[in-house]
Amino acid sequence: MKNLPAAVEGSVIRGLQSATLRMVGVVTDEIDNMQLVDMGDLRRSVTADMSPRGGHIEVKSPHAAPIENGTRPFMPPIKPLEEWVKRKGLHLRTRKEDSNAKSIAWAIAMKFKKYGMKPRHYFKTAWQQAPQIAREEVNRELAKFSWDDVV
């Protein structure tokens, strides 16, 4: 009987590790659903790290927290905003394409300066699925459990 807790614990840990890996997919799907993908840095930065007791998920991009939680008013740099405007095709196709992209970037910057960024809560939204996924994965591993392994 003293092997029972260790055998069950192993199944639970494998289930939690599997749930951790599934949650990486859930978080990246939420980033996609909220249309937060520009160049893919945020999406690519979602990682799972396994531990002897389960695992944890980390979003390592430097702009992960401001996108998740929002910001207070701030003045962003114009050049990256201007490049973003061009990638998104927000500027008009005219002979003054660059100056138009710059003016749109300045307008966006002024909005950030006045209001900050609103929170998007991609991680919080995805994390709401974690308890169900953990239950499913732990139950799947426990279903594989055999009393023959204990005896």
Q: Pick the range with the lowest mean pLDDT from 3-12, 37-46, 111-120.
A: 3-12
- pLDDT confidence tier of residue 3, bands split at 50, 70 and 90: low
Structural domain span for residue 99: 72-116
Q: What is the pLDDT of residues 47-90, one digit of tens each?
A: 999 999 899 999 999 999 999 999 999 999 999 999 999 888 88
Q: Give the three-state DSSP class for 36.
A: coil
User: pTM to 2 decimals?
Assistant: 0.83
The answer for residues whose C-beta is within 8 angstroms of residue 99's C-beta and 6 or more apart is none
The reply to whether 126 and 149 lie within a common domain is yes
The reply to whether 103 and 143 lie within a common domain is no
Considering its fold, how many domains does the chain have in total?
2
The reply to whether 67 and 39 lie within a common domain is yes
Q: Identify the pLDDT of residue 8.
A: 86
Give DSSP secondary structure letters for 40-98. Answer: SHHHHTEEEEEETTEEEEEE--TTHHHHHH---S----HHHHHHHHHHHT-S--STTHH
The reply to whether 13 and 59 lie within a common domain is yes
The reply to whether 1 and 51 lie within a common domain is yes
The reply to whether 78 and 93 lie within a common domain is yes
In this structure, what are the phi and psi dihedrals at residue 39, rounded to the nearest 5 degrees?
-105, 0
- pLDDT confidence tier of residue 2, bands split at 50, 70 and 90: low
Q: Identify the pLDDT of residue 109.
A: 97
The reply to whether 133 and 60 lie within a common domain is yes
> What is the percent of the chain with per-residue pLDDT over 70, rounded to a whole number?
88
Q: Identify the pLDDT of residue 15.
A: 96
The answer to whether residue 95 scores a pLDDT higher than 60 is no
The reply to whether 110 and 125 lie within a common domain is no
Q: Identify the pLDDT of residue 23.
A: 98
